[in-house]
Amino acid sequence: MGLLDGLRSVLGLRAESDAKRDADPDDLFGMSTAYFTMEAELGYESADVGALCFSGVDSSTFREAVSEVEAILEAGREETGTEFEVAEDDHGYRWVILEESDPEDLITSMHFAADTFIEHGYGSRLLAAVFAYEGTGVANGDGPAYWIYSFRRGRFYPFAPRPGRERDSSAEFKLESVLDGELEVEREKEYWYPLWPSSSGTHPWE
């Protein structure tokens, strides 16, 4: 199974058929307190960036939905300074990428974008929300880490990539144990799907 098929399976159709409840973008607000826990208890600082991953569809109404998302985020940029771009990766998936030093503004912008897709009837095209952190070498934070929210499952899971396309399983399990209860953590590990960056990138959307 390749990356494209794996993402489609674990965060797409299979996740939808196995979903235990409807995904709710309000779940993203759980990250508001998680940022503090990540830094205070685990030694991870916010990388001041996050992204929504979605699959596109060739229709005028979908393009209108994307245009409205961009308009909303442009208004937010003028108000809060949150930078954004809409990009496509090498596998044909699209990303709304947000840069913001204030976690609350980052989460709010991500929520607005996701909610707009849902209002236009394209909630099923949303795959994941990704929140990036940087390890400080203090406590247990050593190397980058992500919290990934699966819209189809309505759950978060940790992802700690390391060079050579390795995963730091001990870091991921530590993240799970500390944030469980604060976030709706995915119990079934088969859905902890890795979102690897390209060979030259540092984030999954690169």
pLDDT of residue 1: 40
pLDDT of residue 2: 45
pLDDT of residue 188: 93
For each of the chain's 206 residues, which pLDDT tens digit applies?
A: 444 455 555 565 554 555 555 668 899 999 999 999 999 999 999 999 999 999 888 899 999 999 999 999 999 888 888 999 999 887 788 999 999 999 999 999 999 999 999 999 998 889 999 999 998 776 666 789 999 999 989 999 999 998 888 999 999 999 999 999 999 999 999 999 999 887 778 899 98
DSSP the chain: --HHHHHHIIIIIHHHHH-SS---GGGGGGHHHHHHHHHHHH-EEEEEEEEEEE---S-HHHHHHHHHHHHHHHHHHHHH--EEEEEE-TTS-EEEEEE-SSHHHHHHHHHHHHHHHHHTT-GGGEEEEEEEEEE-SSTT--S-EEEEEETTTTEEEEE-EETTTEE-HHHHHHHHHHHBTTB-B---GGG----PPPTT-SSTT-
pLDDT of residue 183: 95
pLDDT of residue 36: 94
pLDDT of residue 18: 54
pTM beyond 0.75, yes or no: yes
pLDDT of residue 141: 63
pLDDT of residue 164: 85
pLDDT of residue 158: 97
